[in-house]
Chains A and B, each alone.
Chain A
């Protein structure tokens, strides 16, 4: 990402083009990306679909290896092909396909229209360049700023992300920053070009909770100001409850459920989502709730089970589940679930965890959808 020669771009930014009628800011349609390895075909992204609008935050949750990171890297065109190969589906940004874009065009989008904060800040900061230089580079490349302009803006950005003494600190190197400060630098860098979409891959997982709270507050403040969309990848259901408008639950390379945050937390339809919900220790007032783990382990992506990928671990699995891929069941609010029994209201009502809301209300009407 860094150390590229500086080429000035003179095309207009894609984010200035209006979103065509009937489209969303970002649309992922049945995206499939497989790795072809010596051990076999790793179906890392296996039919991912969602839509995202400006100002919205999508939370992507799922266990380790479920394909959360690879999905976003595919959207950004950052997967090496080979071994990777897009096997189907499309990604539309403002109505324009990112999958069919040339590498040169994509380079203009990356870091500019769509920016990403990576899982480990130390590997994505270059240790031999000063923080200021690394911040400036993108702005000189994408915005055609002069060295001086870019450096002034870098100082401003560091200040904005809450780094004290910014004039001094732009001259320092990554190792001179604490973990929380490096993550803030990463955010500053991602925001340098005021992206339309900010993809944050576990931006707080390596940080302490008090620092995590600072970073999340910062991302929300900046979103409020700039109106950008956020894709927040995390395994922490607390973090998504905190910031997500929409949630996609991934399992073994596929989204098993997608919906508004309220739908996923209060009206979940998929047995895997239920299992996750029952596995997390909840902060309870008086009594400890027993945990009900999901038995077994996630499957290998090289050797996915026939039928529903969750069937070997699902307490409700039937012969149908073990042999037939479940269809996608979608409600009128766009809430979808990939389970044979999601359209069986009685089954869902009887088996979903009972969650008492402190603020009872009709979820559909809260979303402004006519029920």
Chain B
């Protein structure tokens, strides 16, 4: 990828949360930490959709929040258009926020119930003073409502008067109000029913085509991420395990974790589902407070060897533009097997 095209670069991002509350506990030598994000690096190009998948608690959302600087990273760098966001002053940060918007998982909790949807959508324009004239702003909001498939006549209604899918459209209209270059979408469709989910996914795709916006698309649903993404990264216990373009990742996954994750997703086709070889992982993911030595996946990995518990595998380029963090990664899916713990 040509460097000039890079919109966002994440370098060795780390985020630890202290487990124990209170000043003394936090500063004691034995203070314990949740290692939520551990040395994560990737780039997002202008106009592309970069998918981040993984199971609950793997650090996907924390990665998104660190990028937005909604939480301070404990290590590493986030560069937006080449500028380190940690070194930005207030003014630079404000203009960066204009270019980078957020869409949240929960359309119920993320909209202020006391504001009309017109006020909600125009708020970013007021904060950033992009459309100073009120009448013009209202016209613009009506246009946005129309774009996201809501009735412009409903501009004075309140969030509770809308369904979940419609509220998510309000959130999308708000995120697009400033025509940002990047939108971080954190589980934007996981609270929605399939028929409504498809409406919202299509809307996101259409808006991207129209405005050239890049997405960081965070979700646990592998089929949804595959559908919307150009490139996909898989996280486990705060670590980046594998990433590549969507086609390669889904058809020729190298990492045994990606392979087992994909094989666990039930496919809505009884013939295929009945014939598939499946890798059933045993046990639960380990705690991020006390992650395993070596490879974070070695306690559940069907092909782990002695080296895996001793040495942490680096993310390496196993095939052109295909990165994988496994000592023994192979492009072919591993055979059905299971390990007892």
Chains A and B are bound partners: yes
Q: Could you list which residues of chain A lie within 8 angstroms of chain B, going by C-beta atoms?
A: 63-64, 162, 164, 178, 180-181, 208-214, 216-217, 235-242, 261-262, 265, 275-283, 285-286, 288, 290-295, 297-298, 355, 357-359
Q: Are B341 and A357 in touch, CB under 8 angstroms?
A: no
Q: A236-B266, A237-B268 are in contact. Are A242 and B194 (CB under 8 A)?
A: no
The 4 A-B residue pairs whose C-beta atoms are closest, nearest first, are A238-B266, A281-B227, A293-B198, A208-B55
CB distance from A85 to the nearest CB of B (A): 27
Q: Which of B321-341 contact A (CB under 8 A)?
A: 341
Closest to A238 in B: B266
**Can you list 29 pairs linking A and B with CB atoms under 8 Å apart?**
A162-B282, A181-B284, A208-B55, A208-B56, A210-B264, A214-B280, A217-B280, A238-B266, A238-B268, A238-B273, A239-B266, A241-B267, A241-B268, A241-B273, A242-B270, A265-B270, A276-B194, A281-B198, A281-B201, A281-B223, A281-B224, A288-B227, A291-B198, A293-B195, A293-B196, A297-B165, A355-B269, A358-B272, A359-B275
Q: When chains A and B are docked, how far (Å) is the Cα of A162 from the Cα of B282?
A: 9
Q: Which of A279, A283, A288, A357 has the most CB of B within 10 A?
A: A283
Q: Which of B235-289 contact A (CB under 8 A)?
A: 247, 250-251, 260-261, 263-273, 275, 278, 280-282, 284-285
Q: Are B280 and A213 in touch, CB under 8 angstroms?
A: yes
B 301-327 to A, binary, CB cutoff 8 A, 1 in contact else 0: 000000000000000000000000000
Closest to B162 in A: A297
Q: Are A281 and B271 in touch, CB under 8 angstroms?
A: no
Q: Are B281 and A214 in touch, CB under 8 angstroms?
A: yes
* B163 contacts chain A at the CB level, 8 A cutoff: yes
Q: When chains A and B are docked, how far (Å) is the Cα of A236 from the Cα of B13?
A: 34
Q: A208-B220, A297-B166 are in contact. Are A241 and B202 (CB under 8 A)?
A: no
* B41 contacts chain A at the CB level, 8 A cutoff: no
Q: Are A279 and B266 in touch, CB under 8 angstroms?
A: no
Q: When chains A and B are docked, how far (Å) is the Cα of A265 from the Cα of B275?
A: 16
CB distance from B245 to the nearest CB of A (A): 12
Q: Please give, as numbers and ranges, the residues of chain B lying within 8 Å of A240 by CB-CB distance.
A: 268
Q: Are B226 and A281 in touch, CB under 8 angstroms?
A: yes
Q: Are B223 and A283 in touch, CB under 8 angstroms?
A: yes
* B208 contacts chain A at the CB level, 8 A cutoff: no
Closest to B192 in A: A64
Q: Please give, as numbers and ranges, the residues of chain B lying within 8 Å of A237 by CB-CB distance.
A: 194, 268
For A262, give its contact among B226, B250, B264, B270 (CB under 8 Å): B270
CB distance from A222 to the nearest CB of B (A): 15
Q: Please give, as numbers and ranges, the residues of chain B lying within 8 Å of A242 by CB-CB distance.
A: 266, 270, 273
Q: Please give, as numbers and ranges, the residues of chain A lying within 8 Å of B163 by CB-CB distance.
A: 297
CB distance from A215 to the nearest CB of B (A): 10
CB distance from B59 to the nearest CB of A (A): 14
CB distance from B158 to the nearest CB of A (A): 17
Q: Please give, as numbers and ranges, the residues of chain B lying within 8 Å of A292 by CB-CB distance.
A: 198
Q: When chains A and B are docked, how far (Å) is the Cα of A278 from the Cα of B284?
A: 34
Q: Which of B122-181 contact A (CB under 8 A)?
A: 163, 165-166
CB distance from A66 to the nearest CB of B (A): 9
Q: When chains A and B are docked, how far (Å) is the Cα of A180 from the Cα of B265?
A: 16
Q: Please give, as numbers and ranges, the residues of chain B lying within 8 Å of A357 by CB-CB distance.
A: 271
Q: When chains A and B are docked, how far (Å) is the Cα of A128 from the Cα of B198?
A: 42
Closest to B229 in A: A288
For B264, give its contact among A63, A209, A282 (CB under 8 Å): A209
Q: Are A283 and B250 in touch, CB under 8 angstroms?
A: yes
* B193 contacts chain A at the CB level, 8 A cutoff: yes
Q: Please give, as numbers and ranges, the residues of chain A lying within 8 Å of B270 by CB-CB distance.
A: 241-242, 261-262, 265
CB distance from B48 to the nearest CB of A (A): 14
* B116 contacts chain A at the CB level, 8 A cutoff: no
Q: Please give, as numbers and ranges, the residues of chain B lying within 8 Å of A214 by CB-CB distance.
A: 280-282
Q: Are B201 and A238 in touch, CB under 8 angstroms?
A: no
Q: Are A297 and B264 in touch, CB under 8 angstroms?
A: no
Q: Please give, as numbers and ranges, the residues of chain B lying within 8 Å of A288 by CB-CB distance.
A: 226-227
* B6 contacts chain A at the CB level, 8 A cutoff: no
Closest to A207 in B: B56
CB distance from A352 to the nearest CB of B (A): 15
Q: Are A265 and B269 in touch, CB under 8 angstroms?
A: yes
For B284, give its contact among A178, A281, A282 (CB under 8 Å): A178
CB distance from A209 to the nearest CB of B (A): 4
Q: When chains A and B are docked, how far (Å) is the Cα of A328 from the Cα of B202?
A: 33
Q: Please give, as numbers and ranges, the residues of chain A lying within 8 Å of B199 by CB-CB distance.
A: 293-295
Q: Please give, as numbers and ranges, the residues of chain B lying within 8 Å of A238 by CB-CB distance.
A: 223, 265-268, 273
Q: Please give, as numbers and ranges, the residues of chain B lying within 8 Å of A235 by CB-CB distance.
A: 193-194
Q: When chains A and B are docked, how far (Å) is the Cα of A300 from the Cα of B266?
A: 31
* B85 contacts chain A at the CB level, 8 A cutoff: no
Q: When chains A and B are docked, how far (Å) is the Cα of A288 from the Cα of B201?
A: 13
Q: When chains A and B are docked, how far (Å) is the Cα of A287 from the Cα of B199?
A: 20
CB distance from A35 to the nearest CB of B (A): 20
Q: Are A180 and B284 in touch, CB under 8 angstroms?
A: yes
Q: Please give, as numbers and ranges, the residues of chain A lying within 8 Å of B193 by CB-CB distance.
A: 63-64, 235, 298
Q: A262-B270, A280-B198, A297-B196 are in contact. Are A285 and B223 (CB under 8 A)?
A: no
CB distance from B215 to the nearest CB of A (A): 15
Q: Are B275 and A283 in touch, CB under 8 angstroms?
A: no
* B222 contacts chain A at the CB level, 8 A cutoff: yes
CB distance from A272 to the nearest CB of B (A): 9
Q: When chains A and B are docked, how far (Å) is the Cα of A63 from the Cα of B272?
A: 24
Q: A276-B194, A297-B196 are in contact. Are A291 and B202 (CB under 8 A)?
A: yes
CB distance from B209 to the nearest CB of A (A): 12
Q: When chains A and B are docked, how far (Å) is the Cα of A288 from the Cα of B232?
A: 14
Q: When chains A and B are docked, how far (Å) is the Cα of A277 from the Cα of B195?
A: 9
For A275, give its contact among B195, B267, B281 (CB under 8 Å): B195
Q: Please give, as numbers and ranges, the residues of chain A lying within 8 Å of B273 by CB-CB distance.
A: 238, 241-242
Q: Are A63 and B194 in touch, CB under 8 angstroms?
A: yes
Q: When chains A and B are docked, how far (Å) is the Cα of A291 from the Cα of B250?
A: 19
Q: Please give, as numbers and ranges, the residues of chain A lying within 8 Å of B202 by CB-CB distance.
A: 290-291, 293
CB distance from B279 to the nearest CB of A (A): 9
Q: Are B194 and A209 in touch, CB under 8 angstroms?
A: no
Q: Which of A213, A236, A276, A357 has the most CB of B within 10 A?
A: A213
Closest to B165 in A: A297
Q: Are A241 and B195 in touch, CB under 8 angstroms?
A: no
CB distance from B207 to the nearest CB of A (A): 15
For B269, give its contact among A211, A241, A281, A293 (CB under 8 Å): A241
CB distance from A310 to the nearest CB of B (A): 11
Q: Are B275 and A210 in touch, CB under 8 angstroms?
A: no
Closest to A180 in B: B284
Extra A-B contacts (12), CB below 8 Å, given A238-B273, A280-B194 = A162-B282, A181-B284, A208-B285, A209-B220, A213-B266, A238-B265, A238-B268, A241-B266, A241-B273, A279-B197, A282-B269, A293-B197
